[in-house]
Amino acid sequence: MKVILVFVSTLDGKVTRWGDPDVKSWSSKYDQKYFRKIWDYSELIVMGSATYNVDPIKPSKKHLLVVMTREPEKYEKYEVAGTLEFKKESPVELFSHFEKRGYEAMVVVGGPHIATSFLKEGLVDELWLTIEPKIFGKGDSIVITKRLDINLQLISCEKVNEQGTLITKYLVLKK
């Protein structure tokens, strides 16, 4: 199963504006349209509870949304088996579980904690990164402070608007 990490970032590597997790307030309309397209065509999407809490998503029969949380019992009333599930499993356990169920791809979205947890375990195959021509100076980065040493290779890069928003795709090089 392929694991694809999807993010939007500023030129200075920030995925939040000054810590505010609402990406829609600063990402371009093109990025939001691109993200919606990825969302609509993905069978399996994984995010962290912090991201889910910012903008709770309604269940959809188009795909399975899995929210990683330390406290799945807090979300029992929102759960809809097969469309919206809350799991306490680690990234490795989730990967194994869904690979056995026959999923071909897992799209991982959200914040630095979930990105770091999947990268740290060596599970990410590709990083799809929208780079917005903005600089915030302060905000969260793609990963939390951990020692990582991950090499990437550019697959594609497309300038998508006059301002210079770039849609990039990288292959994670396995050691």
Backbone angles phi, psi at 14, to 5 degrees: -95, 135
How many angstroms separate the CA atoms of 89 and 82, rounded? 16
Let me know: does 114 contact 145? Beta carbons within 8 Å.
Answer: no
Give the domain ranges of the chain: 2-173
H-helix or E-strand spanning residue 96: helix 91-100
With a cut of 80, say whether residue 164 has pLDDT above it. yes
Per-residue confidence at 175, pLDDT binned at 50, 70, 90? confident
Per-residue confidence at 110, pLDDT binned at 50, 70, 90? confident
> What digits encode the pLDDT tens for the residues 117-158?
999 999 999 999 999 999 999 999 999 977 899 999 999 999
Instruction: Please report the pLDDT score of residue 118 as a whole number.
Output: 97
> Hey, which residues does 86 pair with through a beta bridge?
67
Cα 70 to chain centroid, rounded? 18
Q: Is the pTM of this model over 0.85?
A: yes
With a cut of 90, say whether residue 20 has pLDDT above it. no
Candidate CATH numbers 3.40.50.300, 3.40.190.10, 3.90.1150.10, 3.40.430.10; the one for domain 2-173: 3.40.430.10
> What digits encode the pLDDT tens for the residues 78-96?
999 899 999 999 999 999 9
